[in-house]
Each structure stands twice: as C-alpha cells, then as structure tokens.
Structure 1
Amino acid sequence: MLKVLDSVDRDTGRASISDFIVDVRSSPADVSADWPRGGDADTPARCHAFQTVTFIETWQATYGQAHGSKLCLVEVRDAAGRPLLMLPLQISPLEGGLVLGFTDMGVSDYNAPVLFPTAVTWTRQSATALWRAITARLPPFDIARLDKMPEHVGGLVNPLYLLTDRANPESCHLANLDQPWSEVEQHIQGAKNLRNRFRALDRLGGCRLLVAETADERQLILAALLEQKQRRFEETHVPGFDAHPEKRDFFTLGTERFAAIGALHLSALMVKDEVIAALWGVTQGRHYYGLFITFEAGEWTKYSPGRVLHHQLLQHLAERGYWCLDLGIGDEPWKLAACDVTVPLRQATILATLRGRFILTERTIKERLSATRFWQKLRPYKWVVLRGLRRSLQRAALPR
C-alpha cells in the first residue's frame, strides 16, 4: 500500500531550522569548493559518482535542458559553517505541475546527498528538521519524489533515508572485489563457461579487453556502444535515442567530460578490430559504476559477449585495486548471477500542494493501468508505430 508524507512538519523533534545554514545555487559553476568534482577519493566528502559536479554539469546540459529543469543545488552547513551535506535537486514541469526530485530521470543509480563526517546524530526527528530547512529555501513545487536512496553513503547515515515511506521497486547490485580473485569467481555463475567462451572468441583471430586511453579509442567504443544500444531498443520495442536524444547526448558529452577528470572507464571486448561488447562506466575512488552495457547480436550471441566482457572487466578491476564493480539499479537475472552484494533502496513521496495530490492520484492510476496484462501486450506496438511514423516524416522532409 502506498504511503504518502503529506508533510513532515508534524514530526519536529529536537533539531530545528535554526540548527542548519542552507544555501541553494542554480548552477554547478556557483557551488562551493566543498562539493566534489568527481573521480578523486582524496576528499572528506562521501558520495556516489552521481552527485559530483561533473555528473551534475553533464546532466543539466542534456536531461535538464530537454525537460526544462531548474537546478536546486543545496548546501547545508552547521551553525559554525562546517559542511554537513550537499544535495543535487531539480524542479521540472511534469505531469501538469512542478515536481521536485534528484538530478536523475533514469541515468542515476544511487540518489543521496554528498555527506560529510559530522557530530550530528541523524534521526527521523533531525532529518525532519533538515528537510524543513531545505524546503524553506527552495522555489515552489507541488510534489517531491525522492527515490533510489541508500541507507548509507561511505559509511555515513543518509538522513533523507529516514524520511522514506516504502521500498524502492528495484535494488542495486555489485560484485565485491576486495577479496582474492578465486573467491570473486566463486560468486559468478558459470565462470568456467565464460573462460571457455573467451578462449573460443580468441581462436577466431584474437580476443582482448580494450580499456580506452585515447580520444580515438573512446570514440571507437562509444560509436559501437550507441549503435548496439539503439538496435536493442528497436528489437525490444521500447523508446530509444530517437525518442529521447538526451540519453544519447548524456553519454556522448559525458565521455569527454569524465575522461577529462580521470573518472571515465570505457571498455570493450574486441575480436580483431570489431567491438562485440562495450561497457560505459565511471569511477569514484575505488568504486566502479557500470552504467551502460551493450553487445552485438546475430552470430555473436552464442558467445555471450556481454557476460564475457563483464567477466574480463571484473578481473581487470580486481588486479588494479578496485573494491567493487557496481552494476547499479535493476533486478535482472544476469545481475543477480554476477553479483554477491545487494544494496536495498527506499523512496519517499512528499506532497506540498493540492495540485501535488492531483498529480499523485493521476500517477497512481497510470501505474495501475500500466501494470495490467492488456497494457503490457499493447505497449510494445506503441513504439513500433511511433518509430515508423518518425522515420516516415524524416524521409518526407528530405530534399527531392
């Protein structure tokens, strides 16, 4: 049953708004030096890659612009001015109102604040006061949806997790690499078979793991990755880059931006000079995040190139001291078979206005409709028709 926080003001607790100094910036260029840029773990801040300045800049230039979003980059300090947390939020005109959420829209796996070690003991009461202090400084919004939130970030308690009202539908999954390789492989279903398939690919003329180090290598892998992913979108009858170009633009722009700070990890499984599988990832310290995996179909399917790439990359990262390969959000069977750690997530829906309640009601009706068997059967055909119509219009627009 869906629970909704009409307001968190009823639960005031011991902490009060005056305990927090809140500043809200509208551009990543204006945030303080305390906000981590990304890649380097040599900072007191604890965060995932999805809350770094580089990620936010890339998100705003792609997803944010596509959806008319207004950034609300929140910095919270204690009464002495010491940083407590940084929170990347945005307000978008969606569903007939203004919706507050994280800088996400499907591209982030973990949503949480950037946290700093502090003497504050986070409880539901102090977290409630924190949220009141933050929303008092935000522009107006109708409803807040805070989803995909972990309980801890870098060993520190996530205060927003304490405001959650239900579990997130999906969890995150990662492979623990902070152990001997022989133990890592024990958790991978079919590891021996994956080694055999790599050897079979190698007999075709040479198979290797390529980790991009140059601009040419990055463009080679990126072009193959985007082509493979779009083809997969079309094969599975779901909206792809043609319907949502901001998805393609994020990875295109992000490739060079994350590479510039040493946080990009773009890899491919190569047979001769052909990319048969690719994985777009970023790093934050010794934490590797795999955001986007693709693979060739057809004659390559029997070799399971995506799973072989993942297996090769696991060993590559383990040899270089990474402590995990994080496949992120999603409960797909192959992730469960490849990972030994599950990170449960939670979410909260917070109403701010009467319009927010209307938005929630409409959203609930749509979610129930989309869960019906009839809608599940009908949905793929919708994208076949729309994609065909878009291509017809593009051909009609060509000069004759």
Structure 2
Amino acid sequence: MTMAAAMQGRKADTPAWSQSSRIAAIDIFNDIDEVEAIWRSLENQRHLSTPYQRLDFLRPWQKLVGTREGVQPLIVVAYDRDRMPLLLLPLVLKRGWGTRSAHFMGGKHATFNMALWNRDFATVASRADLNALFASIRDKAGVDVLAFEQQPLAWQGLPNPFALLPHQTSPNDCPTMTFAPGSTDTMRISNSVRRRLKGKERKLKALPGYRYQIATADADIKRLLDAFFRIKPQRMAEQGLPDVFAEPGVEDFIRTACTTLLPDGGRAIDIHALESDEDVIAVFAGVADGHRFSMMFNTYTLSASSRFSPGLILIRHIVDHYAERGYRALDLGIGSDDYKKLFCKTNEAIFDCFIPLSPRGSAVTAIMSSVSRAKRVIKRSPALSHLAQRLRYAFR
C-alpha cells in the first residue's frame, strides 16, 4: 500500500478541508541544538504539545539513551509562506528489515507522542497538509515507514491532527481522571477511599519527620532518586519483571531530566515523595504542563511502612495538589493496574499510525500494524497476558 493509498479520504462526519497545503517549506535537522530556538517557540502555552515533547526532556533522552540505541535524530519543521513554523516533529531514524523507519523521540519513556503544533494551524490542518509533510520526509530523508505510536486523540481539548490519518487503537489504554472547575475533594476521590487512606496515613504520621513534598532542591532530588534506583530493581524482581531502568543510559537520562530547570522555573520531571527522617517511603515522578500531570515512574519502601499503602496515599496528595492549582486532568501512565482504577474511572484511548512511504515500507508497515493489534488482544485477555508474562520470565 502506497502513502497516497494509506491517506485517502476522511470520515464523512468531519468537515471538508481545503486540498491545497498550507505548508510552504520543510526543513529536516539531524542536530537538536540547531533547532532549539524553533523548538522552544512551539513548546510554550500559546501552542499545542505534551510535556513529553519538551526539548529539556528529549535532548537528554537522545544524548544518553537514543545514541546508545543507535537511533539518529530526525527533526522535521514545517513552515508557512512567511517562514512561520507550523509544526515540529521530534523523530528518530531507525534502520532495520532493509528499511528506514521514523519514530517519535523518547522511546518507552514517553507516555504520549505528538508533534509540537502552532495552535492555530492545528485547528485547521488538513490531510493535504499531512500529505505534503510526509512526502517531503520521504523525499528528503529517504524514510520508508512512519511508525507513530501512543498518540493522544486530543490534547488540552484540541483534536490531534494526526487522528485524521488511518490509525488503530494502541495496545494499552491510559487510565485518566479529569477535574471539573470547582470540584470538591470527594468529587475527585470518594469519601470512603479518603477515609480509608487517612486512617492508614495516621500510622505513617507517627514516624519522626513524616511529610509529603515535591522535590525542588538538587540535593532532595538526588536523595530521592538514589532511593528510587535502590528500591525499584528489587520491586521489579519481586514481580519477575526486567529492570528497564538498568538499560544503558536510562538512569543518567532520568537524573538529568529531573534536575533540568525549565524556562518557567520548574523541572522537566517532577518528583513527589512521602518521607520520614529515616526512610523514603514512596516516590512518584511525572511531567506537568499547567493542564495535566502525567505519571512516569514510581516505587515504595521495602520497610514495614509498606503495609500502610504509601503509594495510594501519595497519589491522593498528588491529585489534590494539582486539582487545587487549576489542572484539568491527571493520568497514571498506560496500563490497567488495579491501583490506577481506584482513582481513574476513565480509560483514555490512544492510537498508533503506521504509514508506508515507499513500496519497500509497505510490508514492514503491515507487520508493525499486526504486531500492535496482537499485543492489544493479549493485553485484553487475562489468560494470554499471564501466559505472556510467564514466557517473558522464562526466557529472561
């Protein structure tokens, strides 16, 4: 299937776009630093992007993880006739199966993948615009396949223009909770759950120096990360899971992102924690953008305090923290763990696009699409999911 065939027609219930592309020029960069000014201009609140596509998140990922994985930056910038940037695609180029495929930068550490959009352009972007964009990527970079996975259907209330493309549901959904303006504590988390968690927290409050905090000082960030990287491998081993944080460059990437100051004074990754004077009881870290907090990684103590559900108590603090600051949504990362369902009553569907740009890429696209669908079937079947986990453990 060719690119043109893959991008035919829209759904009948969507408005008809102009068939002439608004994109007048496209540049492709292989050096992140060369595009920093444009990148930062598109990641502010006036435009549309997720915090997983921040420069200060993806630059350390590429330097410390992507380079070790052998992927090359492929950053695409599209402009209008006045050279105003319309979008930036932070991609990496992979080689395999005799083809060159383009993927979003950030790998498994980005829950959501999206372009950085000029907000006005995002509201009118058409299939003709996307055709022009992808044809240029094919011609200028020799890309055979676009593998755009884990994309949100919408962000900050605006549709993701890539949802105009043929797409399929990702293997995992993302448990999400939303906050209505003026919502009360019990509207966010039920009174019964709050009472149960407050009862457990009373046990923790008896510990000397017990506190909830968001780490802002470098020394606090280092102490909490030291605890995380000591505890998490043991927790994953208990579950028979591989330690993804031990992969080359990952720990350095996380430490760098957690200590990187954003232009607004925040951090590329925020760390929330429950602590006492003698113990790091629970750590939850994620990204925030003024509208939504998105969880990335977490762990909890190996001490006796673990029996008081410190992870759930910490989530309650995090929910209240962001709701009280006017945030509209919070997610706990992809996956259907039971603790997520306690807080998140909605499963947000995310989608994948596999677009062939050459005849050679068509077969690879079909394989990628089939593998993704098979993963979703397995995830939806408890029996198959359990079998897959046992097989992973056996082979490991």
Measure, in 2, the Cα distance between the counterparts of 1:128 and 1:69. Answer: 24
Amino acid at match of 2:282: A
**Aligned-partner SS, 1:229:** helix
Measure, in 2, the Cα distance between the counterparts of 1:366 and 1:86. Answer: 26
Q: Greater shift after overlay, 106-115 or 367-376?
A: 367-376
- Please tell me whether the aligned partners of residues 181 and 318 of structure 1 are also in contact (alpha carbons under 8 angstroms): no
Alpha carbons of 1:189 and 1:152: their partners in 2 closer, same or farther (altered >3 Å)? farther
Alpha carbons of 1:233 and 1:96: their partners in 2 closer, same or farther (altered >3 Å)? farther
| Alignment partner of 1:265 is 2:267 | no
Measure, in 2, the Cα distance between the counterparts of 1:231 and 1:117. Answer: 44
- Percent same amino acid at aligned positions? 23
Measure, in 1, the Cα distance between the counterparts of 2:38 and 2:147. Answer: 26
Amino acid at match of 1:315: D
Q: Greater shift after overlay, 149-158 or 357-366?
A: 357-366
* Match of residue 173 from structure 1: 175
* Match of residue 146 from structure 1: 148
* Match of residue 299 from structure 1: 304
TM-score by length of 1: 0.82
Give the RMSD, CA atoms, in angstroms.
3.1
| Alignment partner of 1:36 is 2:36 | no
Q: Greater shift after overlay, 101-110 or 315-324?
A: 315-324
* Match of residue 8 from structure 2: 11
**Aligned-partner SS, 2:119:** coil
* Match of residue 391 from structure 2: 378
Equivalent residue in structure 2 for 1:318, among 320, 323, 347: 323
Measure, in 2, the Cα distance between the counterparts of 1:302 and 1:55. Answer: 34
Q: CA deviation at 1:298?
A: 5.5
Measure, in 1, the Cα distance between the counterparts of 2:257 and 2:91. Answer: 19
Query: 5 Å matches for 1:1-400?
Result: 6-8=2-4, 11=8, 14-16=18-20, 19-31=23-35, 33-36=37-40, 41=44, 43-94=45-96, 97-118=99-120, 122=124, 125-136=127-138, 138-177=140-179, 178-186=181-189, 190-241=193-244, 244-258=247-261, 261-263=265-267, 264-297=269-302, 299-353=304-358, 355-360=360-365, 364=370, 371=378, 375-383=388-396
- Please tell me whether the aligned partners of residues 96 and 359 of structure 1 are also in contact (alpha carbons under 8 angstroms): no
Q: CA deviation at 1:37?
A: 7.4
Q: Greater shift after overlay, 132-141 or 120-129?
A: 120-129
**Aligned-partner SS, 1:291:** strand
Alpha carbons of 1:221 and 1:16: their partners in 2 closer, same or farther (altered >3 Å)? same
Measure, in 1, the Cα distance between the counterparts of 2:351 and 2:270. Answer: 28
Any gaps of 5 or more consecutive residues in structure 2? Answer: 10-16, 379-383
Measure, in 2, the Cα distance between the counterparts of 1:124 and 1:349. Answer: 18
TM-score by length of 2: 0.83
Amino acid at match of 1:337: L
Q: Greater shift after overlay, 304-313 or 179-188?
A: 179-188
**Aligned-partner SS, 1:301:** helix
- Please tell me whether the aligned partners of residues 72 and 93 of structure 2 are also in contact (alpha carbons under 8 angstroms): yes
Alpha carbons of 1:307 and 1:164: their partners in 2 closer, same or farther (altered >3 Å)? farther
Could you report, residue by residue, the CA deviation over 1:12-37 in whole angstroms, capped at 9, with x for unpaired residues?
A: 88534674321111222111534237
**Aligned-partner SS, 1:36:** helix
Q: CA deviation at 1:292?
A: 1.0
Any gaps of 5 or more consecutive residues in structure 1? Answer: 384-400
